[in-house]
Amino acid sequence: MLEYGSATPPAPLFSPLVLVIFIACVAGAAALLQCALVAAIIKRTRNGLYCLILQLIVADFVLLSASIGPEIWTTNAKTWDFGKSTCVTFRGLGVFASTASLYLVVAIALHTLATINLEEKVAAQNKRSTIIDDESRSSRHSLVANSDTSTPTRTMNVDYRLTTNTKVPIIPPSLFIWFLSGSLCIPEFALSNTVPLDHDIIVCGLVDSGHRFNIYFMLAIFNFFIPTFIMSVAGVLVGFKLSSKHFRKNDKESVSALKFSLSLILVYFIMCSPRSLLCVYEIYSNNYSDRLKNENNLFLTINLMCSSVYLVSILLKPLLCITLIPRIRNKFSLYSGNVVEV
């Protein structure tokens, strides 16, 4: 049985009741929107973009149910109140879902760009093929085959236009994302534990101090630096594509997909990256227990605000999907129309 210090535990940063109301309202609204979005696109999973969106919803739902809420509560209370087994689940699923969510945003942007570029390439090739067909239809569009002298001449029409298949495979990147997420969360599942400190403070974290820096450094590389760089490049490419004079502005689906991808990237940089940056800062900070004992610590307040904004971003993602993608927006309009008619 662990014995904790007799000193008075530190007071929370904000009222627990206010925090519970905030978490319940935002997380509840996000969960309802995610369920409605799943119902709207579950039959369209053959579409690569919709399949990636569905995977993003799953990752964000895991974050809602197992990570962000306990993180906000623990930062505010300055102690872990949920037990050892919950600590292991919280740490492991937090890394797993946040990694998957981050790379799925990258995959959505890159998949959208690849699909549009392939469509433009196929359209240009088909246009050139059509011009050739019109100019030399008699020589290039028909092949005359003679069987023998007793049978009449047979004509076979051959279409020289290239294939219109513009589907970009998503299975390889999806498998890579979930494999990477599972690999990065293994140390958290294996080494996480609750550690009692003075002032009745309990910390949920890695107990192996010898590997703590190496594991967190690896998480910083794969969960912040690499995806941030790729996402920055993807955001620039999406912006160039939207502003390009050669881009087909009349293709509403392509434009909406690009805007959706760019919006997800902006949501990450504005609402999610501050939390990731604070996690990177903790790698080089060894006085975590001292920060917990300081009741008026500015770092904990900033950490709490960043986690709260991250929670709001999970609510914002399905709203952007419903607002910016026409087919999904029409699906919800149809649902609302049916409700009005009833």
Backbone phi, then psi, for 295, in 5-degree steps?
-65, -30
Domains, in order of start, for the chain: 16-125+165-333 (1.20.1070.10)
Q: In 3D, which of 106, 107, 120, 105 has the Cα closest to residue 251?
A: 120
pLDDT in the model for residue 61: 94
Whether 267 contacts 313, CB under 8 Å = yes
Q: Report, as ranges of residue numbers, the positions in the chain whose pLDDT lies below 50.
A: 1-6, 140-148, 153-164, 295, 339-342
pLDDT in the model for residue 20: 93
Q: In 3D, which of 45, 43, 62, 65 has the Cα closest to residue 53?
A: 45
DSSP letters for 247-306: S-TT-HHHHHHHHHHHHHHHHIIIIIHHHHHHHHHHHT---HHHHHH-TT-HHHHHHHHH
* CA–CA separation, 229 and 5 (whole Å): 45
Question: Residue 199 region, left (φ>0) first, then alpha (ψ -120 to 50), else beta?
Answer: left
* CA–CA separation, 26 and 314 (whole Å): 9
**Could you tell me the pTM of the whole model?**
0.83
- Determine how many CB atoms are found less than 10 A away from the CB of residue 229: 10
Q: For the stretch 317-326, what's the b/e string if a residue is b when 16 or more beta carbons lie within 10 angstroms of its beta carbon? A: bbebbbebbe
Using CA of residue 226, residue 229, residue 233, residue 234, what is the dihedral sign? positive
Structure confidence by residue, pLDDT tens digits, 73-121:
998 988 898 988 899 999 999 999 999 999 999 999 999 999 988 888 8
**Which residues lie below 8 Å from residue 114, measured CB to CB, with a gap of 6+?**
168
* CA–CA separation, 182 and 95 (whole Å): 9
End-to-end CA distance of the chain: 61
* CA–CA separation, 29 and 319 (whole Å): 10
